Chain A
């Protein structure tokens, strides 16, 4: 009998579709961030400081630059990304909003993918600003289609794991410290593959040498996304 109650209810609701729920979460994150710009500005300032410090600390000649650039670039993305991931989940936790998301009648994986896509969008925005500045400072051409594809693949994998671990770390009082400690060891295969592939592109090596790393990145992305999708429900539940 209780099942019939909704039929008599004044407001009609229907089970929200997976894509509609996912889209709502992405829209919410982007709308809130475009208004506050807290997350993007902190990521950007941090990324700029890292590349500036490396630029002054490593007095590089032209040959060394190509070797070092890939490493510096990915260290910058990884550190700035951690800031963004932490902040993104802290916003949910601070006002109890994570509970609000978990109370919604949507598939929990839609919540994960919504947060992940929003985090990826923030990371790509920061990368889009960092790349030209880095190119000028280090006098390296980073605007190569294959390198951009590798940055995209690396970012997807990083954010896939990062979103999952950030939702785990946010429950702890030491979340700011906990996330990098959890994240960096897990994400190491992605960072190594991305650095190796980026380095080979900047050194103008043959595509035959680069493809194994790209394949590795694609494989890790798929594995991490699949695992995160499966375990997210358990991670966020008490």
Chain B
């Protein structure tokens, strides 16, 4: 039994959110949202534009403060224990969050230092191997294609071996080949017992990777199902049913 498998046995809930409210001025984005994720779960967070997915992930990653409600990540409360939470989180969005004038190796070196990774050189080598960029380690990021930048961004997100990965639209702007490559890397990264929450409008990719699907609409989780509960190729129908339910339609009217 690997150490990561052992971790799955001993750990309980990695993310626990109760009655989360987020307001920007008079506009309420999240309205009493409840959410839970277990160690090792891969959750696809679906929802229409403006549903509050990105805001929710920004709160989970401690980049935004909740207006009300309780957020607990890996046993630590937000916003009070934000530094401890950040140590356990890896975040990937459609932006690479990397520096164009640094090489691939230097980018990972910089973020590894910020996270206090020990034996950093070995870790950088391992991560570059994992994302398939070892031959380009001394090349400047600005010479990379969009797909390569996103693969290095995954390396940046996992350089400190986080327990939780938050992926916000990681496929945005990628062509088909780059998306397939990203799939492979994500599968490898997420097979190691990490808890993953991913938002994406690409339902086929979410269906392939996630084990549970939550639909977020108007600041609340309105439907949730595991892969076993949804018939094969039934994710689109499940999603449409959730967002077009009579209750949602009444809100939209």
**Contact surface of A with B, Cβ cutoff 8 Å:** 1-6, 8-17, 20-21, 23-25, 27-28, 31-33, 35-36, 91, 95-97, 99-107, 237-238
Contacts and interface: CB of A to CB of B under 8 A. Distances in A.
Contacts of A2: 11-14, 39, 74-75, 163
Given A3-B74, A9-B3, A97 B97 contact: yes
A232 to B, nearest CB: 14
The dominant DSSP class at the A interface is helix
B216 interface: no
A97 B98 contact: yes
Most buried by A among B64, B87, B101, B111: B101
**What 8 A-B pairs have minimum CB-CB distances, sorted nearest first?**
A96-B95, A11-B161, A16-B116, A2-B75, A104-B114, A100-B97, A24-B113, A32-B101
A96 B61 contact: no
Interface residues on B, range: 35 or more
A7 to B, nearest CB: 9
B91 A103 contact: yes
B84 interface: yes
A103 B87 contact: no
Contacts, number: 138
B6 interface: yes
Given A20-B116, A31-B101, A103-B89, 17 more contacts: A1-B10, A1-B12, A4-B10, A5-B163, A6-B163, A8-B10, A9-B7, A13-B87, A13-B118, A16-B114, A20-B113, A35-B140, A99-B93, A103-B62, A105-B115, A237-B63, A237-B64
B65 interface: yes
B222 interface: no
Contact of B87 (A15, A21, A28, A238): A15
A99 to B, nearest CB: 6
B180 interface: no
A183 B113 CA distance: 32
A66 to B, nearest CB: 42
Interface string B69-111: 0000011000000011011110101011111111000100011
